[in-house]
Amino acid sequence: MERAFRLGFDIGGTFTDLVILDDVAGTMRISKMLTTPKDPSLAVVEGLHRLLSSGGVRAEDITSVVHATTLGTNAIIERKGARTALITTAGFRDVLQLAREHRYDAYDYFLEFPTPLVPRHLRFEVRERLRTGGEVLVPLDPDEVRGLVPKLMAREIESVAVCLLHCFDNPAHEEAIGRILAEEAPQIPVSLSSKVAPGIREYERTSTTVANAYIRPLVRWYLRRLEQEFKDAGVKRQLYIMLSNGGLMAFSAVEEVPVRMVESGPAAGALAAAYYGRLTGNRNLISFDMGGTTAKVSLVDEGMPRAGTETEVARVARFKKGSGLPLQTRCVELIEIGAGGGSIAYIDELGLLKVGPTSAAADPGPACYGLGGTEPTVTDATLLLGYLDDEYFLGGEMKLDRDAACTAVNEKIGKPLGFDLTTAAAGVYETVNENMASAARIHVAERGEDPRRYTLFAFGGAGPVHGCYVAKKTGVGRVIVPLGAGALSALGLLVTPVAMDFVQSYAAPLGVLNWERLNGMYDKMESEGRAALLESGVRAEDIRFERSADLRYVGQGFEVTAPIPLGRLSAQDSEEIQTSFHRVYEKLYGRYSRDSAVEAVNWRLLATGPMPTVDLKTEGGPVGVEDALRGKRQVYLPEIKSFTECVVYDHYRLMEGTTFEGPAIVEQREATTVVPQGARVAVDRYQNLVIDLSGSNHS
């Protein structure tokens, strides 16, 4: 039988996770490597060689490779993108500076806003103007555009963003600028807002186009280099990149619009949780993905993660919405918290214990890694509390330095607060758990949901250590921890289809829509979607479309997204569209208005290929829990505020049907699960730990 393997890898701030899936046998192998920040590809290549050699797999047997990366996000945050210029309509040079009227913190008199990616002296105006609807008011002068080229060259511009007023209704002027620059300065890539983000709201559209131009040269270089390295390693098949919306596209298709991949890493984790939810029949989940640098929380409803239409990067106040650079790109809806294994604990100016968002990351890492880090981190605290085995971290590949952890926690936390070592470490653990639980409660409540109807799915290298206690604080009664939890985000890359989304603005009340214009817009978007998916290797007969619209009551300032019908649309469909909007609106806000007129703002299309088939299988084995016993050790339990002796189980030997009660520790190579006192654990057919917290004391 022909062998077929798929590879997924996710480069995080602390660890790089790789998963290789055997499509024939239904098994997967995992590799977890410390990220190499100076050259992220080094960890990827080493991890690939380890997986190939340990599994007896040939490079030529790999049928596809899928990648998630934070490269674009990090380039924006660290201001390491290209030297970018903005060309815009005369009079709109300062849109990036003016931003929005909204203040993300109304009571902060010293409010800071993000610095624009393009400084004012690199923003250029052209005299042209379109009316609402796309009618030309002032024609574009091609000679004026050509006159900008020497200025761009003199300022050593590496990338150009073009964002003209109302170009989403008529892209002709932007396209003309693109053609002229391609003729006069072909070495400079040009990003047109009518291609990148053809939606209303001038600031958001400009911000998105500028961000795309800012990261475009870097992403192009990175993807092409990575592609070459895989070819050199013997992998000749198609390479895909995860998009922020949870879909996949070929490397070549993403080079023009890399802004669509800025949230690819977090999206992969939510998709992995959704896959396991469908696999196990737990279709409503809180996905809790805690790695070395951050924790990500998202909702999975009916087996699919929720999607949003806008995201932010480079927040000045990291967890305050509105303090970052907005990006008009569809994304998996999630909240990110600066709480990971590498998050640094410290005493603030008021003498209070705080954790994060600053992380020790992979270099220098937590103190216990022995790589030069001296700051106390969450990982140092969990080691001192007995949750981690200093001899079995990463399956024994990396020995943890307990003495270094003691010194860091005691000197930086314990002594300043007058705490003993255990109290200091427990304080770090409690603080980071409360931070994550608070964020999860807010995320769930803002979406009008009750956390008690969800199961928390805990994964990532640190997720299982904290999952049960975060669940209890959030009000969730059940937790699932999968086998391979430490690198599960990489599996999410292999269980999602090739997909790309499109948006076009056309604002009008439903009662006066020009239906022929709308049908023409959808014809164009479907044609572009079909071409993009064909380029990424999807067969024409496998392409599917989903439509939605951003709708609101006339007079409102913001919209909600609701599904709309496929096919040729007409006035007869307006009632169905309005009913769909009311259904979504009522779910969000508890009521809707029958008498208010409804208007559409944006029309959206998702083009998608078939969902990959993944049939995970597990090996049979002993059912008796005693067969999985690794030993016992002293572990600190928050519910009794002291150490007690806990049994330690080997997760790989816990087979279907096994049951036991906490307190207990369950170890994998890449993750450790802490089971509270009184919790009941059952192992399902996929070797997931299903933890019932109803009998557990609250901490």
Assign 210 a pLDDT band (cuts: 50, 70, 90): very high
Task: Tell me, yes or no, whether 198 and 104 share the same domain.
Answer: yes
Q: What is the CATH number of the domain that holds 314?
A: 3.30.420.40
The answer to the question of residue 486 being in a domain is yes
pTM recorded for the entire structure: 0.83
Task: Tell me, yes or no, whether 295 and 439 share the same domain.
Answer: yes
Cα 402 to Cα 33, 197, 333, 369, 416, distances in angstroms: 21, 50, 38, 9, 20
Reply yes or no on whether the pLDDT at 2 is more than 80: no
Reply yes or no on whether the pLDDT at 628 is more than 90: no
Assign 401 a pLDDT band (cuts: 50, 70, 90): very high
What is the tally of structural domains in the chain?
Answer: 6
Task: Tell me, yes or no, whether 322 and 450 share the same domain.
Answer: yes
The answer to the question of residue 225 being in a domain is no
Domain end among 470, 492, 514: 492
Task: Tell me, yes or no, whether 471 and 547 share the same domain.
Answer: no
The pLDDT tens digits for 21-33 are 887 777 778 888 8
Task: Tell me, yes or no, whether 601 and 677 share the same domain.
Answer: no
Please state the φ and ψ torsions of residue 434, each to the nearest 5 degrees.
Answer: -65, -40
Task: Tell me, yes or no, whether 37 and 92 share the same domain.
Answer: no
The answer to the question of residue 616 being in a domain is no
Q: What percentage of the chain has pLDDT greater than the value 90? A: 50
Please state the φ and ψ torsions of residue 414, each to the nearest 5 degrees.
Answer: -60, -60
Q: What is the CATH number of the domain that holds 103?
A: 3.40.1360
Task: Tell me, yes or no, whether 403 and 362 share the same domain.
Answer: yes
The answer to the question of residue 614 being in a domain is no
What is the model's pLDDT at position 114?
86
State the average pLDDT over residues 594-609: 92
**Terminus-to-terminus CA distance in the chain, angstroms?**
53
Cβ contacts of 371-377, under 8 Å, gap ≥ 24: 373/408, 374/404, 374/408, 375/344, 375/345, 375/346, 375/408, 375/412, 376/344, 376/345, 376/346, 376/405, 376/408, 376/409, 376/412, 376/413, 376/428, 377/341, 377/342, 377/343, 377/344, 377/345, 377/408
Task: Tell me, yes or no, whether 287 and 140 share the same domain.
Answer: no
| Alpha carbon distance 696, 699 (integer Å) | 9
The answer to the question of residue 228 being in a domain is no
Task: Tell me, yes or no, whether 306 and 448 share the same domain.
Answer: yes
Task: Tell me, yes or no, whether 513 and 583 share the same domain.
Answer: yes
The pLDDT tens digits for 350-393 are 899 999 888 887 678 899 998 888 999 999 999 999 999 988 88
Task: Tell me, yes or no, whether 528 and 406 share the same domain.
Answer: no
| Tokens (6 digits) for 58 | 């040939």
Mean pLDDT (the chain, rounded)? 88
The pLDDT tens digits for 458-511 are 998 899 999 999 999 999 999 999 998 888 888 888 888 888 889 999 999 999
The whole domain housing 96 covers 77-219
Domain end among 413, 428, 443: 428
Task: Tell me, yes or no, whether 637 and 681 share the same domain.
Answer: yes
Domain end among 382, 407, 428: 428
Strand partners, 636: 643
The pLDDT tens digits for 669-693 are 889 999 999 999 999 988 999 999 9
CB-CB contact of 391 with 356 (8 Å):
no
The answer to the question of residue 613 being in a domain is no
| Alpha carbon distance 493, 241 (integer Å) | 9
Assign 398 a pLDDT band (cuts: 50, 70, 90): confident
State the average pLDDT over residues 573-596: 91
The answer to the question of residue 367 being in a domain is yes
The answer to the question of residue 656 being in a domain is yes
